[in-house]
Structure 1
Amino acid sequence: MHPKLLAIIRQISDWYKRKINKDGGDNDPKILVIIRREARKLVEVVAESLAIVQGITTATSESSQMMYDAVSKQLDTCNCLILLATQIGQDFPWALFSLVVEYEYIQGSAWLELCQRQNIRHIALKTIPATGGTADMRKGWQSGILEGTEEDTSTQSQGGKALKLIASADVILCSQLLQLLESKHDIMLLERNYSKMISDSSSNKLYFADLIVDEQSGIVLQELHQLSEAHTVEPVVNRMTKLSLQYSVCWLILYTNKGKHTGYPLGGQTVNNLARLQAALTQFSIKNDGYEVKVLFADGLCEVAQLIRQIVDNAAKTTRNWNQADWHTRSWLTNTVSKHEKVLLQFPCLNAYSAQIMLTAAPLKKLLTMSLPELISTCPWIQHKTLKASMV
């Protein structure tokens, strides 16, 4: 089978499983696959290939233009529709679909922008040529695959599976960033809605990162636009300070969001606030207490997604607690939050990643009654300062 067909089978299969697990079995998400070339034989081949995916029922159409009634009727009997680009007109019912796959993506695709506007997940496949002149290397034109939405080569996780990161509800609500991470950078986010987990008495004491890379690394996302007013630096510094109990390194990504704010990103008091913020954060390097804050700047959400992927790759290379297979597999991470995880998250020194690791090592009741030496022995992956703080 052509490598590109294998890629689309894997992408749709993985997305469909995640969607069903997240939304429940009562939901039947619909998928649209677009073939740009006028090649009906290719449409048939793609339909036949995807039909082997569990839960996927494919269909094609001979109509020259697919309007709402025709599409709706087709989706009564299938959940994956494969169409030629020429069959999609101005009145096409995009809202009926949860996922759009471009089998032959080209840069500047209008469908990508449309999907972003309508909050529809988008996956793009593009064949890329191999460099060089030998016959074997020229075969790369047919077998090279780019999975993403731009021409930059995507970084694939070990074993071809999406890497799981824990994300706050705010990140999940940013559909464009969510889409970029999933479709281009092969990162799947597991939501933790912290506002629903913490008690009212703890709400002013607990702080969480926007993304958890592993037990030692967290990421905080901060819009530059939000630093344009007075008294906006202190909450950021306070948050980064509190996170020192949970991580050895925390990445602060300061970014512009052009889709949300069109004005000058450094207006108001932003420049002065950035200087104050940088000065305040240098304290962590001076103290040398096993915690470091690294500040990065990103011009737009595309760069934010790229930086997140680079941070993830850096953490994978530098980890001393895990072998590469275990670090990438993360079999202990779950989509749903257990009651025991909620209990551990009441400790200011623990993040959701560390909590789940600890619960795989010992039952909650036993963890809560252990001495510090016992905790260190049972949970060798967790920093000693974190375990010590949990004893207070």
Structure 2
Amino acid sequence: SDSCKDVSSKLDNSSWSGKPASLALAFKWANDDSDLNNFIMMRSKHRVTQREGKYYEDRPEKVVQPEEQHMHVHKEDDSFCETVKTEEKTQENEDSIIVNIQPSESQCQAYCLLEEAAIPVLKDLTHLGVLASVTWSFDSVKFDHTRFFLKQQEKVICDNFKQGKVDEKEIMLFRHAALVHLLVTVRDLLLTCGLDTALGYLSKAKDIYKNILESCLNTICRQLKIVQYSSQKKHETDPKITALQCETLNWMKSYGEKHSVKILIITRMDSEREKDALIHPISKIEGLKAVDLNSEKKGSPLSCKEIISNRYSCVIVHNQQIGADFPWTHFSLVMEYDYSENSGWKNLCKNLNVTYMTFKTTLPEMMQMGNHGGSFLLEVQIPYVFLTTEGLLNMPDFLQLLESKYSITFVERSSSYSLRLFGSIDRYVVLTIDACTAVLLQSMEELNCEDPCDTVISRLMALSLQYMCCWIIFYSRERLSLEYSLKGNTLLNLVLIYATLIELTQKSEDFEVKVVLTPGIEETALVIRQIADNILIASNLSPHEWLDKSWLSVLPSETEKCLLTFPCINPLVAQFMLKKGSSLNRLFLASFCQLQELLPEVPKKVLKHFSDMISTHSINTAAPSEKTVKGASHPENQDNF
């Protein structure tokens, strides 16, 4: 192996005259008095000499399709490459390779959500003729353009403020500039580093810009967190890590059989999760053993001796650990994990005749955003879990549609005793979306029955004790093809129900009813999904906490059945209470204020009714015996309980 002195000598005598002044894609929060300057600088300030510039002008990039290799050696290691689409390689010369990678599904979804948020603002900027030389298209607008526009508008606002002027148009342009710059920065981080890194930046930026962009950034941030949660639940693989593993294996086959292999992987993000994800697949390759040197010396430059004396065949190093005496020629292959357009390491490796490889995530030329007339969020398979009454089992086609198209999972619970007083359980379905919201599905056929208004209103009155909001969806089992295809009795009963609901909701401040008519089951399923999306986006809980229902019990316990005998407790609230309260005894002994503190997700009126009923019936301070609890689960024994 080369000594430190020899390596330093090679560096000094090389023809490399440029030197990286800063590292591309590094986080740098501007140290300025104004919060408006606190955004990430994603720049590479590498100076290219005239000789290097001419070299690139004379040598246009050549796209090479890699040939498929079918080799018998390392047969087990080939298995992970078989399911991965072969990507294009851009080969600038023999020793410089760019591997183009298709983004993951979650990256595509996040990109479309960012684009959806940016399009209205970009249209305004185009219409107003702002920076006419810039094409305000989300896929082509550059970071430099948006940063220049933001700085320009910041100066205008500051100058107006000094002169005591208030120009609403300039303030609006400043908001547009800030939003577009943030979205473009998040876009670049998403494609270069991944969704986790992009979300980390957006979360910080959201706090800094909360006074001018709060609601908009909150929505975007929650949408990306939903995409993140969905990808985690599906155990989505990272295409870049898979590509790195495949390229490393191919390198071992073509080069490692004749030479001693030493591979360097340069990372730019100090993420333990990312490094663990890198080390595990690389270590599976026969003949390679990887180590993360940054874990041993956090942020400190590594000495030449530390690198050369290391016995591992694959070394992962953070770019800030690379010093002036770094032994580049000690490695046969240098892999820069996060692509940078003007990478200083690429030019350095070229001058030292060290093979360089990097991985670039490239979006498909055509990305379909769907056509739902709503948010692109509908394209994301969100793993919802709702509770439902047994009536949904009598609608197998509708149940299959919700499960297959929208990835909604249902946990069955029996209808409450009060609901069963008002008609057969086969004639309605109650879906519990969250602790506050229910969806009541009613067939339009029931509107032709005797006294449908009284029946529907009675069911809503029973639900008003358990929920804050109820969506009642009148659906048609047979698709309605005409806009005015409802019969006279149906229309008359709808008018009566609607008139009664207006009077009911005006008298109640803590119960809201919304009525929807749908012409078929597909539209009904779409409405349910849209209701859930709106509630999830507006919730104060984090998307992960809201969506995670792993604690739900599939079968009701005896203690849950006991709680469900209270007419104000819905199935989800019952499980919330058992999850947080741990025992019936604790719940029964708690005061109303203690219940509010213990169960902030549960509506106050529900806890108030529960507390009042406990006080009124003077239940013993000790928890009910097992016999009493079992007896209480039957409606006919409610008086005993």
Matches within 5 A, 1:202-241: 204=421, 210-241=430-461
Structure 2 Cα separation of the partners of residues 194 and 282 of structure 1: 26
Pick closer, same or farther for the CA change 1:335–1:156 going to 2, 3 Å.
Answer: farther
Residue aligned with 1:253, SS = strand
Q: Residue 344 of structure 1 aligns to which amino acid in structure 2?
A: L
Q: Which residue of 2 aligns with 1:294?
A: 514
Residue aligned with 2:473, SS = strand
Q: Which residue of 1 aligns with 2:564?
A: 345
Q: Which residue of 2 aligns with 1:372?
A: 592
Q: Residue 275 of structure 1 aligns to which amino acid in structure 2?
A: V
Measure how far apart 1:240 and its partner are: 0.7
Q: Residues 101-148 of structure 1: CA distance to partner in whole angstroms, max 9, x if unpaired? A: xxxxxxxxxxxxxxxxxxxxxxxxxxxxxxxxxx9444557xx799xx
Q: Residues 154-189 of structure 1: CA distance to partner in whole angstroms, max 9, x if unpaired? A: 8366xx662101111111321111111111112111
**8 Å Cα contact 1:155/1:186 also seen in 2:** no
Percent identity for Structure 1 against Structure 2? 30
Structure 1 Cα separation of the partners of residues 526 and 452 of structure 2: 26
Pick closer, same or farther for the CA change 1:224–1:4 going to 2, 3 Å.
Answer: farther
Pick closer, same or farther for the CA change 1:145–1:310 going to 2, 3 Å.
Answer: closer
Structure 1 Cα separation of the partners of residues 513 and 390 of structure 2: 23
The answer to whether residue 580 in structure 2 is matched with residue 357 in structure 1 is: no
Pick closer, same or farther for the CA change 1:258–1:194 going to 2, 3 Å.
Answer: same
Q: Residue 347 of structure 1 aligns to which amino acid in structure 2?
A: F
Pick closer, same or farther for the CA change 1:234–1:265 going to 2, 3 Å.
Answer: farther
The answer to whether residue 375 in structure 2 is matched with residue 155 in structure 1 is: no
Can you give the 5+ residue segments of structure 2 that lack an aligned partner in the other structure? 1-83, 86-101, 107-229, 235-360, 614-641
Which of 292, 304, 318 is the matching residue for 2:538? Answer: 318
The answer to whether residue 547 in structure 2 is matched with residue 328 in structure 1 is: yes
Measure how far apart 1:6 and its partner are: 9.2
Measure how far apart 1:296 and its partner are: 0.5
Residue-pair matches, total: 255
Q: Residue 212 of structure 1 aligns to which amino acid in structure 2?
A: T
Pick closer, same or farther for the CA change 1:235–1:136 going to 2, 3 Å.
Answer: same
Q: Which residue of 1 aligns with 2:280?
A: none
**8 Å Cα contact 2:471/2:514 also seen in 1:** yes
Q: Which residue of 2 aligns with 1:54?
A: none
Structure 1 Cα separation of the partners of residues 594 and 397 of structure 2: 44
**8 Å Cα contact 1:162/1:186 also seen in 2:** yes
More strand, by proportion: 1
The answer to whether residue 470 in structure 2 is matched with residue 250 in structure 1 is: yes
More helix, by proportion: 2
Pick closer, same or farther for the CA change 1:318–1:283 going to 2, 3 Å.
Answer: farther
Q: Residue 573 of structure 2 aligns to which amino acid in structure 1?
A: S
Pick closer, same or farther for the CA change 1:174–1:318 going to 2, 3 Å.
Answer: same
**8 Å Cα contact 2:103/2:362 also seen in 1:** no
Structure 1 Cα separation of the partners of residues 608 and 429 of structure 2: 20
What's the RMSD between the two structures over aligned residues?
A: 3.7
Q: Residue 214 of structure 1 aligns to which amino acid in structure 2?
A: D
Residue aligned with 1:368, SS = helix
Structure 2 Cα separation of the partners of residues 267 and 205 of structure 1: 24
Q: Residues 276-321 of structure 1: CA distance to partner in whole angstroms, max 9, x if unpaired? A: 000011124312421100001101100110000000001112223x
Structure exhibiting the larger radius of gyration computed from Cα positions? 2
Which of 406, 412, 415 is the matching residue for 1:194? Answer: 415
Q: Which residue of 2 aligns with 1:164?
A: 385
**8 Å Cα contact 1:230/1:269 also seen in 2:** no
**8 Å Cα contact 2:479/2:519 also seen in 1:** no
Residue aligned with 2:411, SS = strand
Q: Which residue of 2 aligns with 1:173?
A: 394
After TM superposition, the score normalised by the length of structure 1 is 0.57
Structure 1 runs of 4+ aligned residues shifted over 3 Å read 2-7, 135-141, 201-209
**8 Å Cα contact 1:224/1:270 also seen in 2:** yes
**8 Å Cα contact 2:392/2:429 also seen in 1:** no
Q: Residue 305 of structure 1 aligns to which amino acid in structure 2?
A: A
Structure 1 Cα separation of the partners of residues 512 and 369 of structure 2: 38
**8 Å Cα contact 1:228/1:268 also seen in 2:** no
The answer to whether residue 603 in structure 2 is matched with residue 383 in structure 1 is: yes
Structure 2 Cα separation of the partners of residues 156 and 245 of structure 1: 35
After TM superposition, the score normalised by the length of structure 2 is 0.36
Matches within 5 A, 1:92-107: none
Q: Residue 333 of structure 1 aligns to which amino acid in structure 2?
A: L
**8 Å Cα contact 1:256/1:265 also seen in 2:** no
Residue aligned with 1:390, SS = helix
Measure how far apart 1:371 and its partner are: 2.0
Q: Which residue of 2 aligns with 1:184?
A: 405
Q: Residue 204 of structure 1 aligns to which amino acid in structure 2?
A: L
Measure how far apart 1:385 and its partner are: 0.7
